[in-house]
């Protein structure tokens, strides 16, 4: 398999960390692609009509995208502990944390558009502030609700990769929440995270 990837994408990193946690990383060739709404990448568009990474290329089978779908597929390829729980409240908790993590990354990207990427005369500070509120409220929810002791699941993977990207981009910090911070620092020491560092800049 080949993973169309971007070294500074929280979504792509989520898929790759998942592959490491599932013991599948050695079956995947990672191919870096720069993508941006302002710079069309023909190779990525050929596999994903949204023009975004990650995309999982499978020999003789259709490409898979986005990170949620890729992770769900990868979880069917191994016989170990399932990273996406299949039943009960454990499943719903993992998927809910994944949803919050995806929202954190989405909000962070929106903040970057309104503070760095959009031309100054087109930026909308009130919209930026609204997305910052989403980050802070989500941090507070995670401080209260995150299961920091259970087995690693898709929620933890999505959250760790989102939080690491928010720090990488120097966006409003979660580090005033001690319980969340302690969990993140411990998770960041996992081999899957160490093997997939964020680097590089967005090219619009």
Spell out the domain ranges in the chain: 2-74, 88-194
β 2-5/29-32 pair status: parallel
| Radius of gyration of the chain from its Cα atoms, rounded to whole angstroms | 17
Is domain 2-74 in CATH 3.40.30.10, yes or no?
yes
The pTM score is 0.97
Each residue of 93-103: pLDDT tens digit? 999 999 999 99
Per-residue pLDDT tens digits for 127-142 = 999 999 999 999 999 9
* Mean pLDDT confidence for 41-60: 97
State percent of the chain over pLDDT 70.
Answer: 100
The count of residues in the chain is 204
**What pLDDT score does 203 carry?**
83
Residue 170's pLDDT band, with cuts at 50, 70 and 90, is very high
Alpha helices in 113-177 (DSSP H): 125-145, 154-168
Tokens of 101: 């993590």
Please give the mean pLDDT across all residues of the chain: 97
Using a pLDDT cut of 90, give the percent of the chain over it.
Answer: 97
Show the tokens assigned to 20: 């490491």
| Spatial CA neighbour of 151 closest among 84, 89, 104 | 84
Nearest-angstrom CA–CA distance, 64 and 47: 8
Task: Confirm if 34 and 41 have CB atoms less than 8 A apart.
Answer: yes
Candidate CATH numbers 1.20.1050.10, 1.10.10.60, 3.40.50.150, 3.90.550.10; the one for domain 88-194: 1.20.1050.10
User: Once rounded to an integer, what is the mean pLDDT over residues 54-68?
Assistant: 98
Nearest in space to 5 (alpha carbons), one of 73, 50, 47, 56: 56
What does the pLDDT average to over 101-124? Answer: 97
**pLDDT at site 15:** 98
The encoded tokens of residue 43 equal: 């190779």
**Given this model, what pLDDT does residue 99 score?**
98
Strand ranges (DSSP E) for 33-137?
A: 55-58, 61-64
Tell me, what's the pLDDT at 92? 98
Dig out the tokens for 104 from the structure: 């954190």
């Amino acid at each position: 398999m080949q993973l169309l990837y971007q070294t500074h994408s929280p979504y792509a990193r989520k898929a790759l960390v998942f592959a490491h946690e599932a013991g599948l990383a050695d079956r995947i060739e990672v191919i870096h692609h720069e993508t941006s709404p302002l710079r069309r990448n023909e190779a990525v568009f050929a596999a994903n009509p949204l023009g975004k990474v990650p995309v999982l290329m499978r020999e003789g089978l259709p490409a898979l995208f986005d990170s949620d779908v890729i992770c769900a597929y990868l979880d069917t390829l191994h016989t170990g502990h399932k990273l996406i729980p299949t039943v009960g409240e454990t499943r719903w908790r993992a998927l809910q944390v994944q949803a919050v993590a995806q929202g954190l990354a989405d909000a962070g990207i929106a903040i970057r558009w309104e503070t760095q990427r959009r031309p100054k005369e087109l930026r909308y500070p009130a919209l930026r502030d609204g997305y910052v509120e989403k980050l802070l409220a989500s941090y507070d929810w995670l401080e209260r609700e995150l299961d920091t002791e259970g087995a690693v699941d898709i929620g933890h993977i999505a959250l760790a990769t989102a939080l690491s990207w928010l720090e990488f981009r120097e966006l409003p910090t979660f580090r005033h929440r001690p319980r969340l911070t302690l969990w993140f620092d411990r998770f960041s020491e996992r081999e899957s995270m160490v093997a997939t560092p964020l680097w590089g800049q967005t090219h619009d």
